[in-house]
Structure formats: structure tokens, C-alpha cells
Structure 1
């Protein structure tokens, strides 16, 4: 297929008119969450997402996007889709082609989400639709073999001049801009969103927004948060609007979604088509997203020479309008982050933390600052998460300047970890909280059977030892335990003779570690064997929390239980008859 990269795709006026009519009909059906077209924001104004009840930003910071619509030559919509999801389109040879590596990234992300978040019902075609309007499928598939773009794809600086104002949040790590944030990569994540939404989609151990596998998987998880079901109109619209909060954006994505659902094909990397129209350029020109176009000024015309005899005084020049000093945003006034009375953060493994983190944003005078965003990040070796399974969460400060993080959920890893609170939009000292996950415990152990445990020398015990753990009378599931064959009740040293367990290689083992009760609090030990030593032996089982049980084991030779044979009669034999 002929490469179309860098070529402006020209569509006929008739096609454009049909497309406009189609999306206009769709717009009329949108929920109130759709907040109008792409917004031009004054300096200092921010662009909240709002789709999940928060005031965090969208994935892209509402950056510009490609506005080209797919061909609309087919009058028949797909019978499998609701008329409100997308617009009726036909498959065009060039536009339906998706670069091979980019297409593979979308499909791999769909497969991962189908397993990790099956209730979301994410179609890969939605990722393709977003990838189309965000970067033209990574600029027509300009990626290397690992899926990383051959050059960075950057949106404009979000400096408040025609766009949202988002000050630098990554020290220029991803976008190279240490003053303002810019959308990065084929799915156009702003750095502050990538910090918590980023994923490693290609398994190289790095979360790179410039890698299409990483970016596609991150976009999938972003769209699937908040328990949205993308198979419903409401869930689909909410997810798309959370990516870029614009009705025009929503309609454009839905059109490409329906288009790709009707059929696509793979094309070689680097040969995909690149859209021409962009939401920030009314003329339809297509400057590269990574290249800023300097504004040109029109010189003022020279004044006309005065006519002889003309006594009219020239009009005085209008006084220059001084540049107004930007009004500081609430974020600009924050001086420090302080704890707002967070209680001790402790939970048992697998349980939810009962206390939440509260952080106060303060100005230089110690007064609380409202309406600023605080990011909470879990760091350290832990599998604890916030409710919903994420490692990063955001909250907005209330009128008192306090932001409350979502509830923490402990995992199975015990020990301490850190939750770090940082201010979004400015770099000030972070505030760290220590949280602790303690092991599950039991305070009582009891055998589930009263059968005596006996064995003959060199034999094996017929019954396996099974115990049940409880804590406060309730089942104590997943509690760690240890079993040891000890020398005596007052000597917990491991015995060197008597009963024993076997390891995987059949070797003698008299201490078992790494045991745990099941969800019902039950623990069944492996089979026990006896050596040639007879006597009474002790097996001690202990659990985290202090529960201990000592079980007696008896090894004895088999006794002869058969009845003795009756003795011969003691009566004398009868005498011989006397001779005659």
C-alpha cells in the first residue's frame, strides 16, 4: 500500500457535509456530561475531567486531537450496534488499514483487560479509534520493532494560552518541558496522568508513554476504571469523555469506533494514513504535534504622508494596554502539605484499612487552600492498593484545605510501606505516611478428630493430622503455621528420632514451615512415617498469633491378639483289660 504519512487527506465537500450531519444527530442524544466542543481556555483556567465525580484532569489534559472523520459512503449501519454508538460508515481501503505493530498493541491490551477487568468489555476498536484521533495511529505506525515511536509525539505546551493550564509535574522527564506539561506518546497522556495510569504492556520492565504497547494498555485501564461497562452507551460515553472532555471529541471517536468495527486490516508499519484536520487549527493544517509553529506578526502599515495644506491633526496612538498580571491559582498559593489528623494506618493482611489518609494544603500563613489536587501514591514493596486496585489516587481539597485519600486495601505482603502525598501542578515537599500490614493470626488450635495416632515401627500412620484455627471464636483463614516433631513438652528442640515427614525427594523431614490454614481455617499435614524407634512422641503445631497445639504420636510393636490353642486332655489313657 502506498504510504500516506505526512500527506493531507482531502475529503470532498459532500462527504464532510454528510459527516457533519451524522455527528450532529449523535450529539443531540448525549448525556449532560458532554460539555460542548473543544474548549479554548483562558490563562490560569483548568480543564476538569468531572466524569467520575472528581475534579481531576482528563487523560490528555483536553489536548488537541485530529478531527478527520471516516468515509461515510455506506447507508447501512452495522446491525449489531446501537444507532447511538458511532455513525454508519463503510470500509475504505486506506483508512481501514492499521499499522501492524499498533494493531497488535490494541489487541493485546484488549486481551489483558478481558482477563483483569472482564466487566469492562473493552473492544480493541475503541483503542484504535482513540489512537486514530490522538496521534493518527502513532503517525501512521512510525514505531520500532518493540513498539516505541521513532520520535516523540508531543502535544502543545499546556500553558493556558488557548489550552488548559497545567504546570510541569514530571520535571520534564517525559515531555522535555520543565515549565508546563505536554501530552506525550501515541495515546497522548499528560505526565501527571501517566504517573498513575502508566502500564508495562510489552513486558520490558519499563512504563513508557512513547511505547504503543504500554500506552494502549494504560489507555485500556484508564477507560475501564470506575466500573464502567463499555458495552453500554452510558459507560462508553463516560469513558470517552473522561479521556478528553469534549462532545466533538466524543463524536469523532464514536465514528471511528463504528468504522473499525466494520472491518480493518493490517498494513506495514510506517505506511498508515495520517489525518489532516486538528481541533486547534480551523484551517485544517496539520503541523506535527511535536513541532511548535511560531506565530508570525503582520507589520503595521506605514502612515500615509500628510497632504500639503492639511491641517488635520493626526489621531493620537491608543495607549498600550498593560499586560495584566495573572491571578494566582489556588495551587500557586500552597506552601506546604501537612497531616490532617491521620490515625495510625494498620490492617491485617487481606483486610481493608479502617482509617483513611487526610492531607491539608496550607498557604504561607498556615491557612487551608481549597480546590487543589493531591496525589496519593503507594510506594515500597507491597501489594496493597487503594480501593479499586490502583496504586495511585487523586483527591481535591475541601473548603478547609483537606483532601482525603480513598481507603487502602491490604494485600498478602506483610510489613510497612509508604503512601506519598504530593501536590499536583507545583513542586513542593511531599508528605509521607507509613502504613503497616500485619499477618493474620489465630489464638486457638484444635484437632478435627479424636482418633488416636498410632503406628508400628517402620510403618506409616493411617491418619493424617488435621487442625482448625480460630481467632476470637471465628474462623482464622490463611494463617501461617509451623509443625515440628519435638523432643519433649518442655523441650521444643527438633527430635532426631521417631516419626517424621517426607519431602518431595522422599528424605526425612521433622519440621515443616510455610504452612497456612485454608479459607475455612483448616490445616491438614502431610502423611507421617515412623522409624524403628518405639515410644510416645510429640508433634507441636504453632501459628502466627500464638496458638499452639501439641499432639501425641505412638509408635509400638504390634501385639499378638490371637487366642491360645487348647491344651491336650490330662485324663490318663484307659487301662488295658486284665488278662483273663
Structure 2
């Protein structure tokens, strides 16, 4: 018989058994809420013949989308964290206990749940007391946090461990691919080797600090290791799923199933918040009415249209030369929970850090409204004279859609052209001295002061040389000269040896612009 239990009572340390052995990050446990204590059958799993997902005799079946997510996450971590030894069956055991495998595979084609899976309100009444950390973005509650999604992540923990498991550019705890990969990363934290019993226990307890939880997860872990198979995903979320602390998510507190009397209310549920980043979907309503017909099904939530997050629409890094305008401009896209573009969202771009860069008119911030494609692009950005790096931050005005940062770098100007100022041939007698060589560095036709040029001789064995060292040896290694206010640099004292011929001198400016000069030693 399935029963629910509070995984974290008020005052219990999070992230480790009896307050010890917490992971390196010291985060709260991802699954701080209710969970399913149902144990697997005693007999070894065998694929049933024609059983429906979750039906009697189908305990070893895992919805195909969810099973694929578990296996993909474990394979990814085998490459990125080979010493962890994570098996996908462990993710399956946790996913079974935390959400019944995302309510029997009630996910769309991208792996996102058809309606939110929310744990109880973590207000200290029978569970941990965790004040809101996400402005209601993931759990719809702007007062307290609730565990979210197939692997039941607390928003604050998701902020640290969230992952993009399906490669769509978003980290969504409601997506089974993202949640499975994040859970794997969390379990592998602190250098754990999950092939060792002590580390395996420590990882599971860090996920949910309860000895009953540990025993239950281990039971399903071993059960799935003996054999499992894929079953079809559910296309309609069930009204009652053991283990979920939300309306329709397990026996209601006070009912006979929970050891109470008839007529009890589920006092662990809350309505989704009205904030811009509220919970996905439109809440949970049961089909049955007062004294009505149990066993109905919820209808899938309609396609969301409200903005859910800001995502990067352009490159993260932009660069400009001091005194010029950035060629690229930061841009973000407002999206729904399903990744659809949202028009009409006001986005504020703010220049942060020590810089002289400004938007049009000398402003340090600017507000732009997203267009039909959901994209808002920052106004033109002038670099200013100061070199260095600063940040441009994009946020939604009046909405909690997260932040997107862009790294902007201002570099010193570099010459795009170097030319000789005279056309006179440079000729010297044997053992003589060449006339001064003057070159001009410019950028976009304007003289460039303070630019360093490197003078290099093509022949380092004979011909012209720059100087003589203390041992009387001729020096032909490169030397540098710098341009003055007029952009002109002069190379003086270049000497000739006694080897007649024509030689090449190259003067190269920072950035690569260069000029070649012919030097002749008369015979």
C-alpha cells in the first residue's frame, strides 16, 4: 500500500544524513517534499503482456520518454564525470519515488510535463520551512518554495544544479531530460563514487534525508537493475498520483488513505501565484464534483502564452574599439514555458561595471519592447575611450523572467594601415648608415598616436643591422618604435655591413597592419 511521508521536518538539516555528509555545495535537498513509499514486487520484473502503463503487473515498465531521459543523462555523466559510476536505474528509482516517472510519462514530445508537478508548500507545517527563492517562477508561490518537476527540485537548488538535458538552450525543472541530468549531477557531487555502497547511500540521503526514503529508492534501484522495459507515455495526466503533494497528487490529507476522516482538505496546496514567472499550466482541478465520481482525468493544460523566461538571442560576447560603436548589439527573446516567442514584453538593458560606454544619448540603460519574433535588441552602444570589460544585463520590466548577461570588451585602437612618409630609396655604402625611416600608422584614415610598431629584418645573418652588442656582435633581432601625436614613428641608426645587396625591413603595427621597406647596400 502506498503512503506519503514528509521527507524533511522543520529544523532537520538539509543535504545530509543527520545533518552530516552534505554535498560540497551545501544545497538544500532537491526533493524536499512528499514521496511515494510503495515498494516494488518481491518477484523479479518481467515484461507484462499488454498491460497499460502503471497497470497491475507492469511495475517494471517505465514510460518510454522518461526511460530515454534517464539513460541519456547517465550516458552524458559517464563522459563528463566518469568517476561517479552513476547508473540510470538509480535515476529511475528516484524518479519513480518522487513523481511516479512524471505521472506515468505525462509529457509532451520535448519531455516537458503536461501540467506542473509540485510538492507541498514548504512552510514549516510538517515539512521544511523554505521562503520563496524564485519569485514564483517555477512553483507559482511567491511566499514559500515548493519542489518542482519529475525529479522534484526546490527552486533554489535548481538555480545551482539546473541542466539542459535536451539541448534546447533552456534549463527547465519541468522537463524530464533537464531534470534527470540535473539529478545525476547532484548525486555525483562531492566526488562521490556511486559504485561504493557508502557513497551511494550518502548521495541518496543528500537528495532526501530520510531512512525510509533511502530504503525505498534502493529497493526500486535493485528492482530495475534486474530488468525493465519501455511502456507508452500517458497523454493525459492522472488525477491521483501517489507521492505528489498537490491537488490530485496523492491521497488528500484527512482522508481514510491518510488515516483521517472523510471530508478532509488538502491543506498543503496553494494556488499558482500571479507573478509573471508563475507556475506552468493553470493549476489543478479534479473532474469529480462534490460527492461525485472519482477516477476522472484532468485535461492537459492549454498551450501557455504568458512570458516564462528571457533567453539569449545573440552572442554572449561583443567587442568594440575604444572611441567607436559596437558593431553587434545584445538581444534577448521572451519565451513561454514551451519556448514560443512572446510579443510586447518590455526589456531593460543596463550597463554595469566601470566603463565609459553608453547607449544612444549617453544613457546607461535603455528599455526595448519585444517584437513579433519575441526579440528585443539593445540600442547602439558607444564604446567610449576607456578600455576594459563590462557587463550588459537584460531583465524584463515588472516581471521575474530571470536575467541575461552579455560580456562587452573595449580594446585599444589598432592601425589598419602603415605607410612610409617618403618615397626616397634607402641606400647605404658598405659599413655605412641608412637615413632615418619614417612610417605613419592610421585607422580609418586618421593618424593613430601611441601605437607600437615592430621592425624586423628578413635576413638575420648579413646585411643591415640595428646595433652592436657589448661583444661587438651585430644585432638583427627585432626592435620596436612608437608613433607620436601625428601617428608617425621613426627608425634611426640602421647600419649596413660589408655584404652588398638588397634586403627587406618590415614594420608591423599591433593588429597586423604592416609595410615593407627595401634597403640596399652598394657594392
Normalised by the size of structure 1, how large is the TM-score?
Answer: 0.43
Q: Is the radius of gyration larger for structure 1 or structure 2? A: 1
